[in-house]
Amino acid sequence: MLKRVSPIQYNRPVTRGRTGPLFITCETDDGSTEDVVAKFSGGCDQGNINLAREVIGACLAGDLGLPVPEPFLIDVPAQWVATVPDANERAKVGGSSPVAFGSRFMTGQFGIWTPGNLISDIMLPTAVSIFVFDAIIQNPDRRSDNPNCLVRGDELRIFDHELAFSHGLIIGWQPPWSLGGLKSMETNGNHIFRAGLKGRIVDYAPIRAAWAALSDARIAGYETALPAEWINVEATAAAAIKLIKDARDNIDAVLEEVKRVLL
pLDDT tens-digit map of 200-234: 999 999 999 999 999 999 999 999 999 999 999 99
Which pLDDT belongs to residue 213? 98
Listed as ranges, residues in the chain with pLDDT below 70 are none
SS3 state at 143: strand
Task: Tell me which amino acid residue 232 is.
Answer: N
* Among the listed residues 174, 177, 139, the one whose alpha carbon sits nearest the alpha carbon of residue 256: 177
Is this prediction's pTM over 0.85?
yes
Which pLDDT belongs to residue 175? 97
Which pLDDT belongs to residue 1? 77
SS3 state at 112: strand
pLDDT tens string 151-181? 999 999 999 999 999 998 888 999 999 999 9
Which pLDDT belongs to residue 16? 79
Yes or no: say if 124 and 117 are a contact pair by the CB < 8 Å rule.
no
